[in-house]
Structure 1
């Protein structure tokens, strides 16, 4: 192996220490996904007993949230392992004057890792899988009842164009990271994009603060070899010489062929993963955006029990509104809140089946649709027999969905 225009230099001690710490920590952080869950359960339980109390036990595993107590304790374990690894590395390799070669390969690994994630999230925005358009329930929900995260999701989901723009920016950052000549620009794009993402996650209480912060940290770490050159360019307005960092150049043809083949296959693998993700999301979105035969918002006008003669109430909160959403979902608002989930509707038999209250109660209904947009449902909720009369609401009048775009606004329209 030969070196192209490369002259080794002696790194300052502080630079060597910081490189060991951050490179080991980031590699351990991303490598944690390959550690079996049973191992993490033991490590997290130990950390919990140490930091929280001797009676600690895992109550929630990461599922939909990346900011659980489990995640924070896991991060503590990763930090301890990284510090131990850094200390061991420092003792074994204390005579090394620079980490040019190791830095190159660490940067390659982190570039591909960051690129994969940027593509994954970017494609999920270009093909609207991460942020769906506001649902019927969201459009009907009072603003004050929305959570900060729900408000952010509605903000992003409303504008297909802005969501696609955000996704393209993330994909662009990931794409630029895959090539050596554009890697610096890719890191800068990722820093700009992820700074905005991290700010939104923190200020809207979105539960991926830890992961997004590490993506930003990774992008900043990728920038460190060029930090002096960037400062010279932006702050002093002086010319900046081309970099002469280590890059592997092979003397024999077959070694160059193998190296380039592996490199291009890795790039192709990342790009194909992005394309496959897009295809999968597109198919899922198509199913989730299909309107059912009784799609719409229905207001309950009568809710009666048929369990006993003459009885008009049952021992459960009365239903107030039903939201038959796209993608075969049903949400039910009653006096105690909102419940619901997946729904099975048989148009031929005119039946509705679902489970509510965290799968405690099964709902089996037969429905009749009338020409005046009313519906009658008869059936059971758990062990109670009920008859429900509903009136379909007009869902085409929401200003948010009808306002649209205007080049010309004679007055501000801020409602």
Structure 2
């Protein structure tokens, strides 16, 4: 009798937790989790902003301002929303349980499957998209002159991680493929366990890295990990038998949410359409991301140029610092190809877009990227391997610059992988 009561209490707790988990994650996903839908502006369909601001001020004592909410970046707004939806999920689950006690209707297994389907598709879509961003090297960018010239001490933890990830295409693309494969496996019932297992390992690593490097999307990663853990709980007996009890894991039959063949066929068509729409959306996301990284048309000029000697308006001695050129980089940033970044003698930073003519050996410079203005013109001549002379008129000043270039190939960090260490 005692065991029966305990079992019933345990069953009630489990049913309540399923209701709470489903409600919480649905509220969490809507609408900011729909980032895998290309072109969707989540703020236009969000109902959270005003109520979250009110909740944060009333119950936490935080003043949140609409023009600086920093949504999705470990902000006070995010924490306020998490606490709000947790509170709502508890209240709704209590109300749901009360209604169930009055209206007897058994659907516990169906509810578990609904939760499973919601998490499968949300986590699957999200991690396929983020995995593709790593596979195509758009999430962290690529190693460039600006990163190579920066010092370690100037980095935040997050920018240091971005530099670390951008260094190795092999590592970044491999982690991306793990997320793509794991996410894709979640989209099918028969491979859900394998996908969840792969993504559990991947997301534990992501969460540790995000915390360790103070990445500003820690809560986002933690929520994804929590969703994966919930999916793995559906297979807890199999996991315990294999990893703890050293027993044979009995094969499990994946239960379909729909029982009638007619409904299954309709669901199959809808799933095909859904996956097709997701594939189209992913294509546009990748294409847009790749658009930030234009092709480098002048790799031979890419680098940082140190000005060793200069004549400005025919004078090399009395030129004021605000006119002197200290150094400049061409294509210094991988996501700003076609730009010249100049540091002058007074440490001021100046930015020009440029168009190169490698036949005439000249650069047309436009201040702050304004290509409608009359261009400044610099002709260049390569004297030695990394020695260049630039000559022309920039913003009314006649320049002659003797420079030394340092390109990507000149940095030790950019050397190729060595499979045999003692061979040159």
Q: TM-score, normalised by structure 1?
A: 0.79
What is the CA–CA distance in structure 2 between the aligned matches of 1:37 and 1:302, rounded to whole Å? 59
**Is 1:121 the equivalent of 2:130?**
yes
What is the CA–CA distance in structure 2 between the aligned matches of 1:192 and 1:159, rounded to whole Å? 21
What is the CA–CA distance in structure 1 between the aligned matches of 2:365 and 2:162, rounded to whole Å? 29
Cross-structure match for 1:91 = 98
What is the CA–CA distance in structure 2 between the aligned matches of 1:71 and 1:150, rounded to whole Å? 22
Q: CA RMSD in A?
A: 3.7
* 1:117 Cα deviation from its structure 2 partner: 0.9
* 1:171 Cα deviation from its structure 2 partner: 0.6
Cross-structure match for 1:401 = 414
Cross-structure match for 1:78 = 85
* 1:174 Cα deviation from its structure 2 partner: 0.7
What is the CA–CA distance in structure 2 between the aligned matches of 1:363 and 1:211, rounded to whole Å? 47
**Is 1:25 the equivalent of 2:14?**
no
Cross-structure match for 1:369 = 380
Cross-structure match for 2:338 = 328
**Is 1:296 the equivalent of 2:306?**
no
Unaligned runs of 5+ in 1: 1-8
Note if contact 1:172-1:186 (Cα within 8 Å) is conserved in structure 2.
yes
* 1:318 Cα deviation from its structure 2 partner: 6.7
What is the CA–CA distance in structure 1 between the aligned matches of 2:135 and 2:57, rounded to whole Å? 43
* 1:104 Cα deviation from its structure 2 partner: 0.9
- Compared with structure 1, are the counterparts of its residues 376 and 204 closer, same or farther at alpha carbon in structure 2 (3 Å cutoff)? farther
State the Cα deviation string for residues 323-366 of structure 1 (Å, max 9, x = none).
2215223434467878566724365884312439xx9xx99743
- Compared with structure 1, are the counterparts of its residues 288 and 100 closer, same or farther at alpha carbon in structure 2 (3 Å cutoff)? farther
* 1:203 Cα deviation from its structure 2 partner: 0.7
State the Cα deviation string for residues 48-106 of structure 1 (Å, max 9, x = none).
4235657553452437x622333333333333332333233222234566621022122
What is the CA–CA distance in structure 2 between the aligned matches of 1:133 and 1:350, rounded to whole Å? 25
- Compared with structure 1, are the counterparts of its residues 304 and 54 closer, same or farther at alpha carbon in structure 2 (3 Å cutoff)? farther
Cross-structure match for 2:68 = 60
**Is 1:219 the equivalent of 2:234?**
no
- Compared with structure 1, are the counterparts of its residues 323 and 78 closer, same or farther at alpha carbon in structure 2 (3 Å cutoff)? farther
Three-state SS of the structure 2 residue aligned to 1:112 is helix
What is the CA–CA distance in structure 2 between the aligned matches of 1:146 and 1:292, rounded to whole Å? 26
What is the CA–CA distance in structure 2 between the aligned matches of 1:90 and 1:318, rounded to whole Å? 75
* 1:271 Cα deviation from its structure 2 partner: 4.0
Cross-structure match for 2:140 = 131
Which residues of 2 match residues 158-173 of structure 1 at below 5 A?
Answer: 158-173=167-182
Given the alignment, which residue of 39, 46, 61 partners 2:54?
A: 46
Cross-structure match for 2:3 = none
What is the CA–CA distance in structure 2 between the aligned matches of 1:390 and 1:147, rounded to whole Å? 34
What is the CA–CA distance in structure 2 between the aligned matches of 1:334 and 1:250, rounded to whole Å? 72
Note if contact 1:16-1:98 (Cα within 8 Å) is conserved in structure 2.
no
Cross-structure match for 1:36 = 44
State the Cα deviation string for residues 247-279 of structure 1 (Å, max 9, x = none).
245445x43421222233333433444445445
Which residues of 2 match residues 202-213 of structure 1 at below 5 A?
Answer: 202-213=211-222
Unaligned runs of 5+ in 2: 1-6, 33-41
What is the CA–CA distance in structure 2 between the aligned matches of 1:111 and 1:334, rounded to whole Å? 54
What is the CA–CA distance in structure 1 between the aligned matches of 2:258 and 2:391, rounded to whole Å? 76
Q: TM-score, normalised by structure 2?
A: 0.78
Three-state SS of the structure 2 residue aligned to 1:32 is coil
What is the CA–CA distance in structure 1 between the aligned matches of 2:174 and 2:304, rounded to whole Å? 31
* 1:187 Cα deviation from its structure 2 partner: 0.7
Given the alignment, which residue of 258, 268, 273 partners 2:266?
A: 258
